[in-house]
């Protein structure tokens, strides 16, 4: 399980058998793959049961929607911002660097006004940064072509072969608050968002300001907005 989480099944099998001096024979590739898949499903099952229990304890339904009089919503407060005095040294350093790089006085002054705006910089210790992304990998072939085997298709045939090759899709979430971080993964976005909410509730982080960082994938953006549509902020 540990090896397959970091390397391909083929590389893990080779290293596993070599360490047991069984380079001929030993554990087959499919056996390792099936075993790792079983262990992975056990982890997903645990995360699902744990998340559902946490959601219920904090007044959410199984889909992550707060029920009537959900106490967890009362923990959500206005974001805490850095005091303006604490921004003065950084603001002066930015403007000085801009002047050194040849920016006009108008640009420097505009930056000074923007950086001096109230409620611009939130306190990092009061924020939870949530990085979400979909990860797709090509399904590994059970066997590699050996020397003398049929050659790889070329031209349009090669493109068609690539298009038909199965893909394995996962969603990964990385949560960070101050010096603490946690990584969650699942089979789809909706599943991982439930894990994320369960993690926030279980660690009393829902009351902090949530900062979600994603790429331009529109479907992922829409899924997050729908899931957190109950959030007052």
What phi and psi, each to the nearest 5 degrees, are found at residue 68? Answer: -60, 140
In this structure, is the dihedral angle defined by the CA atoms of residues 92, 98, 99 and 100, taken in order, positive or negative? positive
What phi and psi, each to the nearest 5 degrees, are found at residue 23? Answer: -65, -25
166-209 pLDDT per residue, tens: 877 889 999 999 889 999 999 999 999 999 999 999 999 998 98
Helix (H, G, I), strand (E, B) or coil at 50: helix
CA 25 – CA 58 distance, rounded (Å) = 52
Which residues does residue 176 pair with via DSSP β-bridges, in sequence order? 129, 181
pLDDT at 130: 95
pLDDT at 171: 93
CA 213 – CA 5 distance, rounded (Å) = 24
Asked if residue 140 lies in contact with residue 10, where contact means CB atoms within 8 angstroms, the answer is: yes
What is the torsion angle, in degrees rounded to the nearest 10, for the CA atoms of residue 135, residue 139, residue 140 and residue 146? -130
Residue 131 CB neighbour total at 10 angstroms: 16
Angle between helices 29-57 and 189-202 (to 10 degrees): 50
CA 73 – CA 54 distance, rounded (Å) = 15
pLDDT at 157: 55
Q: Where are the alpha helices (DSSP H) in 58-117?
A: 84-100, 105-115
Which of 28-37, 103-112, 146-155 is predicted least confidently?
146-155
In this structure, is the dihedral angle defined by the CA atoms of residues 110, 112, 117 and 119, taken in order, positive or negative? positive
pTM score above 0.85: no
pLDDT at 196: 96
Question: Per residue in 217-231, is it b (16+ CB within 10 Å) or e — as a string?
Answer: eeebeebbeebbeee
Most confident of 99-108, 133-142, 219-228: 219-228
Of 195, 187, 192, nearest to 168 by C-alpha is: 187
Asked if residue 135 lies in contact with residue 217, where contact means CB atoms within 8 angstroms, the answer is: no
pLDDT at 52: 96
Length of the chain as a residue count = 233
């Amino acid at each position: 399980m540990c090896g397959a989480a970091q390397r391909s099944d083929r590389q893990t099998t080779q290293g596993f058998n070599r360490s047991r001096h069984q380079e001929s024979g030993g554990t087959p590739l499919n056996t390792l793959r099936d075993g790792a898949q079983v262990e992975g499903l056990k982890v997903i099952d645990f995360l699902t049961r744990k998340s559902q229990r946490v959601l219920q304890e904090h007044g959410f339904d199984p889909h992550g929607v707060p029920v009537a009089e959900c106490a967890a919503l009362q923990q959500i407060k206005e974001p805490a911002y850095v005091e303006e005095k604490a921004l003065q040294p950084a603001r002066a350093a930015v403007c000085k660097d801009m002047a050194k790089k040849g920016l006009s006085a108008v640009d420097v002054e505009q930056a000074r006004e923007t950086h001096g705006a109230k409620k611009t910089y939130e306190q990092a210790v009061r924020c939870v940064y949530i990085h979400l992304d979909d990860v797709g990998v090509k399904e590994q072939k059970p066997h590699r072509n050996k020397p003398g085997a049929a050659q790889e298709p070329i031209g349009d045939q090669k493109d068609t072969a690539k298009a038909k090759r199965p893909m394995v899709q996962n969603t990964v979430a990385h949560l960070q608050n101050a010096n603490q971080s946690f990584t969650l993964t699942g089979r789809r976005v909706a599943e991982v968002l439930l894990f994320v909410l369960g993690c926030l509730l279980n660690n009393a982080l829902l009351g902090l300001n949530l900062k979600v960082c994603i790429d331009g994938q529109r479907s992922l953006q829409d899924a997050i907005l729908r899931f957190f549509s109950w959030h007052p902020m």
